[in-house]
Structure 1
């Protein structure tokens, strides 16, 4: 497939690399000479602007950080105007379903399909080709971009119509974040009972309480260490979750307490 790629950062660059390695023709947006050189060194084809990245593309992948950046690129930056009729826009950014729907409404007038496809995992998962993709969109649109998504995604899950990818990803994030909050409370309680955090983290992975959240904390040696290393992403995702819950309605229930505990753990201490 001929692909445009917008957002070759921490998550996007290994995606673009996997796409190229799979034989796709990928043009990656690069706004500076330094970025162009870095992409070329990795065997990727840089594009000077959105129009060049999108020209003649079968699909364009957007992997920026926030909803606002998705709107800026797709609605204000002219990306949709540069994409050919019949192409597909894939949005990997975790955000609100409303953004995907607003972009799709504009895209439909140009004959462009939109697939919201947030991912679960990190750069190491992408590099290994095992990041989870939650894809929302029309059956035909998802089928058309599946060969590209499978370059780095396994599994690629079609979870429903447009916006479903964001809903499922936010629910995934809510549960993960709440589990981290609960783990922070478990460590606190352990300390009150005289159980050191290192001892607890060495024991829990062997019990029924094990989880990906626990594995992440164990890899960093402490809840505080994991929270510090992932603060930007976790804070952003929890903020999006709360905004979407307010927008779409629904009761967070027991998740709310875990999220509140995590928020406290994400607050930088005076020692940092």
Structure 2
């Protein structure tokens, strides 16, 4: 069977190689000359034009990186028209379930079957035919695609109609990234307590804490040096963030469970951004709790310079009356005006930290001796500076 495969990246190329090694006549396609040249699998051919690839193929695999790339490739339906009546598209990209469903409907208009296949296991597992597959498809389309899918997998899970494969893959990635974040956080805590990083990882891996995430997550944020070190972190960050952002939109009623997992994922993303900053020679971020402590110290001392040093350049500051100020110059002017009018003397109370920042209950003694109760909600940038501060009146 002649099959085309569009997208010869870190996952697409191994899948295409596996297909060629198991008897398929593979046409490898990529718009990147570098990626295309690297696809040197014996017996396969290469093509830079996706439409030409589809015209020559009976089945067509797609493994591009983003929703935008997939829409540009197939959104106008010309790719399905080129594949023709009776052809089958096998989507291996991780994209939004809604996009997969939209494209499946367009494919059907051209008599083309559509199989939505999330993959898990990585490039080496693809080469060995040991991927785990999350499949969304109509039964007839799945049966046509089964020889392809069985060639690359050791576990095939048909989860329902098109879109369910993407949802299954997103849930799989949600587990993975949340566990990466938790593992990286635990190791950071241990290092902060004075433990050796690698020794602690090895100790945990020998006990009940052992996991794939523990072997991978902390390593993702290890220092990297040399040309391209910051960009390698950026590429990893953007790849994970794409899936995390899709997970935010999953149609669930278990919102508390989803929020907890997303919080761990967001920590992982922030930790990778920190690693990129450090690889680029930047300073480690300030602990947001220390930033809050510094805020109250500066306000009580009426030290405008110390106070403004805690704000990000593009910060916003919102008063209880809803009036908002943007930028450090405007925020400085507001604080100076408050200081000049006899600033309240704030005493922080209960403090609550979460994924959306830190909230602090405040009792502010006014110049006339009365007390005004407010709540300060701080949000932070990756450097630990105040990105947004909202002050809200409490009864």
CA distance in 2, matches of 1:21, 1:202: 38
CA distance in 2, matches of 1:230, 1:210: 25
1:242 maps to 245
* 1:128-173 C-alpha deviation (Å, 9 max, x unpaired): 2212221111122112112112222222221221101111111111
2:209 maps to 209
* 1:170-212 C-alpha deviation (Å, 9 max, x unpaired): 1111111111111122112212333221111111122222222
Of the structure 1 ranges 188-197 and 109-118, higher mean CA displacement relative to structure 2 is found in 188-197
1:271 aligns with 2:274: no
2:386 maps to none
1:140 maps to 140
2:259 maps to 253
CA distance in 1, matches of 2:221, 2:279: 16
2:87 maps to 87
Structure 2, unpaired ranges of 5+:
281-395
Structure 1, unpaired ranges of 5+:
none
* 1:102-153 C-alpha deviation (Å, 9 max, x unpaired): 1011111111111111211221221222122211111221121121122222
More helix per residue: 1
Please list, as runs of the form range in 1=range in 2, the aligned pairs for 1:181-200 lying within 5 A after superposition: 181-200=181-200
More strand per residue: 2
Distance 1:209 1:143, change over 3 A: farther
Structure possessing the higher radius of gyration over alpha carbons: 2
- Residue 136 of structure 2 contacts residue 165 of structure 2 at CA under 8 Å; is this kept in 1? yes
- Residue 217 of structure 1 contacts residue 225 of structure 1 at CA under 8 Å; is this kept in 2? no
Distance 1:233 1:145, change over 3 A: farther
* Higher RCO (CA 8 Å, separation ≥ 6 residues): 1
Give the deviation of 1:270 after TM superposition: 3.5
Give the deviation of 1:23 after TM superposition: 0.7
CA distance in 1, matches of 2:207, 2:151: 35
CA distance in 2, matches of 1:32, 1:186: 40
Of the structure 1 ranges 25-34 and 129-138, higher mean CA displacement relative to structure 2 is found in 25-34
1:224 maps to 222
1:162 aligns with 2:162: yes
